[in-house]
């Protein structure tokens, strides 16, 4: 990220979410706010969605990881969790679509101050009001103490919480990932859903080329992938932080479960995973 500018990655994810509504009719994750918050027309979104032969894989993964997180979140709310923390929220719209409003849950959206200011602008232009259960918490993940910032915003450290951490882990150093997991594990009965990438050899040849191009694009935007993990390595890290009940969903499982809902899904092995873990 460039200083004072919102995350370009957050914009890319928002476009993928919007493209899923337009091309796939929201079949994995229905989101009536995806196009509104983006503020672009369908033509622009379709142009983005069709610019690469493997763009459908990104669209599938973006929609599926949110669906997996929101399904797990619903079960956590059923079990009594009332605090939801969305780390690296970007233009996420869950707080606008919140189906648990009657349960008096509180949703804390944590992101970089510049990205949050941009999101506020997008919401204002779309004439979408912030719901009463949403609290915005500006944080620089590499420098700030997430726990301190959350408590200052009203988060209750002694109550369980559900964390979603989508599209963030690959961009963080291992130190920053470890600090965040330390914090989550300090919250009793906490749960987290996040995604990670395997090293390049886990990808098909065509996907490896795409990853190489994407890496070069990111570096031009002052953003970069910093951490990749083997599945056994991520499980060991989670266990070392006291997490158990670890469910690691591979891209192959995602493609088999959700793939038929995505128009023109390109073939390709992607070393992408979504993890749900409980403390």
pLDDT score for 73? 98
Query: 13 lies in which domain range?
Result: 8-278
Q: Per the domain annotation, does 3 fall within a domain? A: no
**pTM given for the model:** 0.92
Task: Give the three-state DSSP class for 85.
Answer: strand
Say if 62 falls within a structural domain.
yes
* Nearest C-alpha neighbor of 149 from the set 122, 177, 183: 183
Q: What does each of the 279 residues of the chain score in pLDDT, given as a tens digit?
A: 555 567 788 998 999 999 999 999 999 999 999 999 999 999 999 998 888 777 898 899 999 999 999 999 999 999 999 999 999 999 999 999 999 987 899 999 999 999 999 999 999 999 999 999 999 999 987 788 899 999 999 999 999 999 999 999 998 889 889 999 999 999 999 999 999 998 877 667 766 766 666 666 656 656 666 789 999 999 999 999 999 999 999 999 999 999 999 999 988 777 899 999 999
**Whose CA is closest to 73, among 18, 122, 29?**
29
Residue 63 lies in a domain: yes
- pLDDT in the model for residue 3: 54
The strand pairing partners of 135, in sequence order, are 108
Strand partners, 83: 106, 161
Q: Is-contact 136 106, C-beta < 8 A?
A: no
Domain total of the chain: 1
Q: What is the DSSP letter of 127?
A: T
Helix (H, G, I), strand (E, B) or coil at 87: strand
With H, G, I as helix, E, B as strand and everything else as coil, classify residue 125. helix
| Sheet with 161-165: strands ordered across | 134-138, 106-111, 83-87, 161-165, 191-197, 272-278, 244-250
| Structural domain includes residue 65 | yes
Would 29 be classed as within a structural domain? yes
Quick one: pLDDT at residue 276? 98
What CATH number does the domain containing 162 carry?
3.40.50.150
Q: Does 1 reside within a domain?
A: no
Q: Which residues pair with 197 in a beta bridge?
A: 272
């Amino acid at each position: 990220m460039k200083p004072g500018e919102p995350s370009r990655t957050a914009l890319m994810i928002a476009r993928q979410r919007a493209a899923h509504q337009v091309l796939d009719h929201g079949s994995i994750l229905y989101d009536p706010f995806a196009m509104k918050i983006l503020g672009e027309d369908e033509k622009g979104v379709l142009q983005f969605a069709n610019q690469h032969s493997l763009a459908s894989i990104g669209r599938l993964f973006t929609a599926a990881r949110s669906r997996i997180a929101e399904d797990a979140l619903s079960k956590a709310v059923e079990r009594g969790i009332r605090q939801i923390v969305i780390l690296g929220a970007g233009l996420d719209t869950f707080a606008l679509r919140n189906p648990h409003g009657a349960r008096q849950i509180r949703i804390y959206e944590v992101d970089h101050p510049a990205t949050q200011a941009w999101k506020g602008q997008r919401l204002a232009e779309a004439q979408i009001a912030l719901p009463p259960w949403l609290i915005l918490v500006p944080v620089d993940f590499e420098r700030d103490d997430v726990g301190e910032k959350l408590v200052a915003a009203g988060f209750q450290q002694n109550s369980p919480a559900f964390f979603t951490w989508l599209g963030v882990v690959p961009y963080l150093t291992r130190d920053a990932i470890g600090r965040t997991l330390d914090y989550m594990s300090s919250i009793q009965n906490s749960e987290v859903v996040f995604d990670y990438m395997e090293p390049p050899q886990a990808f098909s040849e065509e996907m490896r080329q795409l990853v190489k191009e994407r890496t070069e694009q990111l570096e031009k935007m002052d953003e970069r992938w910093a951490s990749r993990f083997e599945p056994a390595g991520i499980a060991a890290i989670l266990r070392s932080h006291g997490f158990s009940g670890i469910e690691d969903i591979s891209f192959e499982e995602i493609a088999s479960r959700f793939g038929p809902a995505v128009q023109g899904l390109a073939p390709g092995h992607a070393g992408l995973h979504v993890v749900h873990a409980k403390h």
